[in-house]
Amino acid sequence: MRMAELSAATGVPVPTIKYYVREGLVPAGRPTGRNQADYDDGHVRRLKLVRSLSEYGGLSIAVMRDLMQRLDNPEEHDFDLLGAAQKTITEHREASPGTDRDQAEQELAELVARRGWRWEPHHPATRTAIGILASLHEVGRDDMVEVLDSYAAAAELIAETDIRLLGDDLTDRERAVEIVVIGTAVGDTLIAALRRIAQATLARRTYPAERAGQSR
């Protein structure tokens, strides 16, 4: 397969493919001559993965490069790989200074204890959650912190599905990482979309007729 065919098979413009190869997101083709190379289904697959992660997962080129280099490096242990993959796509944003993060941290720790989850204070997701809780207090939305348990129950339901999807077969590295990465990054967007659709329905049910939280 030549580059034009690769481009046609994926819908990604040729210069963009060149850019991705340069950035290490997609492996180079197998050279067949001084200025000719051969691409295969693996390239098509990888390219579609990159597009999905970028379009629906919102991952940056730099994050994806990290991920793909880990994936292409056979030295990396499989289970570290999955954990690392999960952490890589969880960008940690520290709370703005001046915020009361201690109270938020304690609230989250208590929630984690109530649910019987593991408390991992340095996990980027933990740091993000703490930042959000602190931020919600700042903005005066303490009521949202109070219903945290409801959100946590839903999150656990989602996570159970995620783990079920991963299954037992972790022998295919590329496949396993794909499951984790797509499931997590694209899954976030999917869940957000489903949430909005459900919201629209429930809003109409709660505030019927012209009172509904819907235009028109």
Q: Which residues pair with 30 in a beta bridge?
A: 38
Helix residue ranges per DSSP H, the chain? 3-10, 14-22, 41-55, 61-71, 78-88, 101-115, 124-138, 142-146, 148-166, 173-181, 187-206
Q: Which of 2, 18, 51, 65 binds a second copy (CB under 8 A)?
A: 51
Segment contacting DNA (CB under 7 A): 16-24, 96-104, 131-139, 152-160? 16-24
Q: What angle do CA 57, 47, 23 make, to 5 degrees?
A: 85
Cβ proximity to a second copy: between 29 and 178 the closer is 178
Q: Least CB distance from residue 52 to DNA, whole Å?
A: 12
Residues 158 and 152: their CA atoms lie apart, in Å, by: 10
Q: What binding mask, one character per residue, do residues 149-178 give for a second copy by CB under 8 A, x or -?
A: -xxxxxxxxxxxxxxxxx---x-------x
CB within 8 A of 48, min separation 6: which ones? 10
What are the two backbone dihedrals, phi and then psi, of residue 181, each rounded to the nearest 5 degrees?
A: -70, -50
- Window of 13-21, 25-33, 60-68, 95-103 that interacts with a second copy by CB under 8 A: 95-103
When binding is defined by CB under 7 A, the residue of 44, 45, 52, 54 that contacts DNA is: 54
Q: Contact with a second copy (CB under 8 A): which of 15, 34, 171, 210?
A: 210
Out of 11, 40, 45, 61, name the contact with DNA by CB under 7 A.
Answer: 61
Is there binding between residue 71 and DNA (CB under 7 A)?
no
